[in-house]
Amino acid sequence: MTIEEIYQAEQELARFNALMSYKEVLTQEEYEFCKEWDAEEAKNLFHNAWNNTYLNLNVYSEVEKEEYDLRKEMGI
């Protein structure tokens, strides 16, 4: 591998880690990217067919969503 190829691979790995560690909703393109890097890990992405996005179950928390919804309803 050349230095450029190593750099590119490191950048792609950093993107994969960021998507799977921090992003809650992924686009189709991001899903395909993650699936190429680790198909087993991509099984933790739930497909929302109505808007063609993927919910990252590694990041998503129902508790946080309920707290957010409650604060929103209370006007906080």
DSSP states along 6-71? HHHHHHHHHHHHHHHHH-SEE-HHHHHHHHHH-TTGGGGEEEETTTTEEEETTT--HHHHHHHHHH
Inter-residue contact 32 to 4 (CB < 8 Å):
no
**Interatomic CA distance for residues 34 and 50, integer angstroms:** 21
Name the percent of the chain lying above pLDDT 90: 66
pLDDT band at 17 (very low <50, low <70, confident <90, very high): very high
In the prediction, which pLDDT does 60 show?
A: 76
pLDDT, one tens digit per residue, over 33-69 is 999 999 999 899 999 999 999 999 888 776 567 777 7
Asked whether the whole model's pTM tops 0.75, one would answer no
In the prediction, which pLDDT does 14 show?
A: 95
